[in-house]
Structure 1
Amino acid sequence: MSGLLSSIGDVLGYGNQPSDAVSIVVGGVKITGWTEVQIRCGVEIMPWSADLIATEWQPDSQTAVTINEGDVCQILIGNDPVITGYVITVDREITPDSHTVHVAVASKSIDLVESAAEIATYQLNSMNALAIIQKLAATAGISVYPVNGAGNVDIQIFSIILSETAYEAIERVCRLANCLFYDRPDGNITLAPVGTTIVPSAFAQGRNVEAARVRASQAGRFASIQAIIQTPLVLTQSPTSSDYVSEFTAKTKPVNAIAYDQGVTNTRPWRKMLLPIEAGDDANYDYAKRRVQWESNRRYGRSQVIELTCDSWRDGQGNLWAPNTVAQVSLKALKRDGIERLIVELVFRRDEGGTHCDVTLMPPEAMTPEPILLPVQQNEGMRAITSTDTAPLPGGM
């Protein structure tokens, strides 16, 4: 009978489905039998984390397994690694009816998030963004893998703030390089642009979506966002004048650093936001133009959120759902049919209610890194004016 069921499964396409059994590998021992599982990962989540609950008695090995805080470990779903890192906390509990262990795991990047950035020198010269990030990540034994040339931006001078963590320094570098960084299942870091792959027909009502919620909002959005030259030297009106702000705006219009949100412009055109132009921008105000467009795009992206619960941890090809993936979504009942959204966050969970995946999706614009000006001393013109040394810059430290 079992052979017949296996044959039917192969014909229907079920026979080769990857396993979704969750295990943790500690000290070369693979531990299974977890009764409750929650694995959380995402573009803006670092470190990725997992919570596992089970009895310490292992039915397969018939032995009591010991897991200690600080152990190096790896979380697997089937044969697919999901998190590589450390056991952070172990809670053991005994009651008249049970003896359980609760294990909290975090990816290796927890040391970048919580530890100070210590390198041989706190100033890095003539390096590209990828090289700087690699140097910072190496302090925690972590490698960096770029996707589609991410991080290929030259940075003449980058200074580490004495009290900041490696994560905070890397975040600043990624803003300069206009790319994302997030965990990999092997414990290292991915450096990538927004939306690296597309999954067609990913989530569909009536097929694999159990529940869904769509949010569309105008909260925090503006009809226009304009950069202004905020200096009294160009004004004729006093700060007490009612025309003070109007003159600011009028004298800034030639800069042409303004972005529009048509979703608000068409309904509430009076909602406007003014941003000061930062010192160090170039003559064309390129940074100001990118900054206002990012502000408008980001506010729009964060206002359009889809949260859904999927009945599977894998897509139609058997691959685990992954952050920073553009997924096609069809939710006809919620007026979202055939649209593309970026997977921002995933929670793989299993409990008494079964196996589910909670997915948060947003437009890709929501994840675009905020642009940042290079330090003033990196500006070639400023360096030529202030420097008395005509020697070339030293090599990267």
Structure 2
Amino acid sequence: MSDLLASIGDVLGYGAQPSDDVSIVVGSLKISGWTEVQIRCGVEIMPWAADLIATEWQPGSQTDVTINEGDACQIYIGSDLVLTGYVVTIDREMTPDSHAVHVAVASKSIDLVDSAAEIATYQLNSMNALAIIRKLAATAGISVYPVAGAGSVDIQVFSIILSETAYEAIERVCRLANCLFYDRPDGNIALAPVGITVIPSAFAQGRNVEAARVRASQAGRFASIQAIIQTPLVLTQPPASNDYVSEFAAKTAPVNAVGYDNGISRPWRRMLVPVESGDDGNYDYARRRVQWEASRRYGRSQVIELTCDGWRDNSGSLWSPNTIAQVSLPALKRDGIEWLITELVFRRDEGGTHCDVTLMPPEAMVPEPILLPMQANEGMRAINSNNAAPLPGGL
């Protein structure tokens, strides 16, 4: 009876499970049957990459097709597109008993990472962040899709540094815009805030987690992080007393920029960061900077690395980076938390199908704030906000 019900379900469509068969499409050819697969993607990984290995590469079989380095390609898991890019390297091996081929693929953003940022002018004026990034990405034939208004910050002047790559220039723009940028499966890139969706009951001990490791550390963390004024007057004027520390603290007190990490109980663990030239009279940037330092250092000190028994969540969707996932690992003292998926490795080998997942608190991925090159007035902001109309589609 169960077999009959399964057959009926397959016919009607509600009983089918998404396929996890991995294939690569090169031109009009679709090649599957890979014996080993590793697809790596993440918030801080660019380009996304894949390694595909097939053994017993026999002449005359369906796998005896020509793949050349440099070929444009797409990689699918079942019917889901996961990577669009180029064949980077092909290794072919032969032994008396077998043949094998190893294909390495990188997403289209490899050209942003490797190539110099070359545009008609090395200074861009009166544009918002999204428009600048689109201009840089267009040199590699890549489109940019914003999520939740990411990239709307107006930048009056932005200069490309001669010899820097397009990736490096985009990274600086994203710091100004306070957003992340990362690959999309279609080969384009996304601009997004940290944590765009939440997956309930994503990873749970005893259900889909095969192994896990939790790291909690106080390395590199400080009880307080304070912004200080570094001017010749502050640094060279003799103090009124022998208490240099108190005198110095008093002179820099007007900045009133201190970030705290309540997880550090030793108050003498302090860090000082300079107030940057160009900060406004209210020291707004200094306050954001010290809080970012405290939050980022905490976030990077807390890590979960786990191995999941499948590539999909409960809804049948593939796991994806920049997603908040609910995690339950009571044996490792992490139960009911919601952390960010920062990196994924979809892999298949002789041991079966697995997904290696790295998660951190969302604070770990917030970009470092930097000062705008030139503060735009309200009139310029109103004009510039229309410089980058959204492209059709999106995530």
TM-score, normalisation: structure 1: 0.90
Give how far 1:242 is off. 6.8
SS in 2 for 1:172: helix
- After superposition, what is the alpha-carbon deviation per residue over 1:87-115, rounded to whole angstroms, capped at 9, x for unaligned? 00000000111100000000000000000
* Structure 1: stretches of 5+ with no match in the other structure: 382-391
Name 1:106's counterpart in structure 2.
106
Query: 1:216-235 maps to which residues of 2 (within 5 A)?
Result: 216-234=216-234
Partner of 1:273: 271
Does structure 2 conserve the Cα–Cα contact (< 8 Å) formed by 1:124 and 1:396?
A: no
Partner of 1:193: 193
Q: Which residue of 2 aligns with 1:389?
A: none
1:238: how far off? 4.4
**Aligned-residue offset at 1:243:** 4.1
* Equivalent position SS for 2:134: helix
Q: Secondary structure at the match of 1:374?
A: coil
8 Å contact kept, 2:58–2:99: no
AA matched with 1:144:
V
Structure 2 residue 300 is matched with structure 1 residue 302: yes
Q: What CA distance in whole angstroms lies between the structure 1 residues aligned with 2:60 and 2:189? A: 34
1:52 paired residue number: 52
Structure 2 residue identity aligned to 1:350: R
Q: Is the 8 A contact 2:327 2:336 kept in 1?
A: yes
Query: Between Structure 1 and Structure 2, how many residues are aligned?
Result: 380
Residue number in structure 2 paired with 1:184: 184
- Mapped partners of 1:153, 1:160: distance in 2: 18
Q: 2:117 corresponds to which letter in structure 1?
A: A
Helix, strand or coil for the counterpart of 1:85? strand
Q: Give the CA RMSD over aligned residues.
A: 2.5
1:182 and 1:314 mapped to 2: Cα distance?
A: 20
1:1-397 → structure 2 map (5 Å cutoff): 4=4, 6-7=6-7, 15-55=15-55, 57=57, 62=62, 64-234=64-234, 237-238=237-238, 243-264=243-264, 267-375=265-373, 378-379=374-375
* Structure 2: distance between partners of 1:60 and 1:190: 42
- Aligned-partner Cα distance in 1 for 2:363–2:159: 29
| 8 Å Cα contact 2:56-2:98 kept in structure 1 | no
Decide whether the 8 Å contact of 1:33 with 1:58 is kept in 2: no
Q: Which TM-score applies when normalising by structure 2?
A: 0.91
Contact 2:128/2:387 (8 A) holds in 1: no
Conserved 8 A contact 1:146-1:191: yes
Pair 1:96–1:218, CA change in 2 (3 A)? same
User: Contact (CA 8 Å) 1:57, 1:65: kept in 2 or not?
Assistant: no
Alignment partner, residue 393 of structure 2: none
Q: Which amino acid aligns with 1:369?
A: P
CA distance in 2, matches of 1:2, 1:99: 42
Report how far residue 17 of structure 1 moved: 1.0
Moved over 3 A (4+): 1-11, 55-63, 234-239, 241-246
Q: Secondary structure at the match of 1:206?
A: coil
Structure 1 residues 227 and 68, CA, compared in 2 at 3 Å: closer, same or farther?
same
CA shift, 1:58, in A, is 7.5
Post-superposition offset of 1:315: 0.2
CA contact (8 A) 1:237 1:244 kept: no
Letter in 1 for 2:367: P
Q: In 2, distance between residues paired with 1:210 and 1:36?
A: 20
Residue range with higher mean Cα deviation, 156-165 or 54-63: 54-63
Please state how far the C-alpha of 1:6 moved relative to its aligned partner: 3.2
Bigger mean CA deviation after superposition, 289-298 or 60-69 = 60-69
Distance 2:247 2:177 in 1: 35
Aligned partners of 1:59 and 1:33: how far apart in 2? 15
1:75 and 1:176 map into 2 onto residues whose CA distance is 33
Structure 2: gaps spanning 5 or more residues: 378-382, 389-395
Q: Could you say what secondary structure the match of 1:134 adopts?
A: helix
The answer to whether the Cα contact below 8 Å between 2:40 and 2:343 also exists between their aligned partners in 1 is: yes
For residues 316-362 of structure 1, what are the alpha-carbon distances to aligned partners after superposition, in whole Å with 9 as ceiling and x for unaligned? 00000000000000001011111100000000000000000000000
